[in-house]
Amino acid sequence: MLTLFAAKNTVAFASHIALEETGLAYQINWISFADGDQLKPDYLALNPKGRVPALVTDDGVLTETPATLEYIAETSGQLMPDTAFDRAKVREMLSYCTSTFHVNHAHKMRGARWSDDVAAQATMQAKVPQTMAASCAYIEDQLTGDWVAGAYSIADIHVHTICRWLEGDGVDIADYPKLHAHFGRMQARAAVRRVSDAHG
């Protein structure tokens, strides 16, 4: 049994979708960012970074979205393509999502990670629509078929999870036709609808 520690509508949404898609046995342990659960001792003992997700496995705890996604894919034998190059393209997009797309978004609400100055944090917030739009333009250019790397994969799940934040970040996904269509394909999946309902 796997236990996913998740907060609603955070990046843990991605690991939740992957679990729901694969049919692996799992349970969700919800934590609340509003209540600061991620900084309480019980949670920090699981994940000293104070972030989500944390995936508790029989072998130990895993953190970081790309790692939890690929663990779910690898242990289920699903959601990764067949060739080494296509797998690398999946990992390229996971890395882009976690190191650039998500980091751009984080400068809206989490600027205190990188500056102690409130006025400086406000200048970061102001730039978020621009950096998120640049990320969308990059991904739009990368999408050549229905999915990131041939077949549906964990890379599509990670992209979709961050695209759900675009409206709040001041970006209209309709400006990116291929990414917009990708969003629609993701929303049409039964597993994604179930997870979306659970996150409310």
**Alpha helices (H) along the chain:** 12-22, 41-46, 65-76, 84-96, 102-109, 118-142, 154-163, 177-187, 190-199
Strands of the 26-30 sheet, one edge to the other:
26-30, 2-6, 54-57, 60-63
Q: Cβ of residue 111: shortest distance to a copy of itself, in angstroms?
A: 8
The structure tokens 């050549």 sit at 144
How far is residue 33's CA from residue 26's CA, in Å, rounded to a whole number?
22
Question: What is the token pair recorded at 187?
Answer: 């929303």
122 or 181: whose CB is closer to a copy of itself? 122
Question: Contact positions toward a copy of itself, by CB under 8 A?
Answer: 48-49, 57, 59-60, 62-68, 70-71, 74-75, 83-85, 87-89, 91-92, 94-96, 98-100, 102-104, 107, 113-117, 119-120, 123-124, 126-127, 131, 138, 141
> What's the closest the beta carbon of residue 71 comes to a copy of itself, in angstroms?
4
Q: How far is the CB of 188 from a copy of itself (least distance, A)?
A: 28
Kindly tell me which of 2 and 189 has the beta carbon lying closer to a copy of itself: 2
Taking the complex as a whole, how short is the minimal distance between the CB of residue 68 and a copy of itself, in angstroms?
A: 8
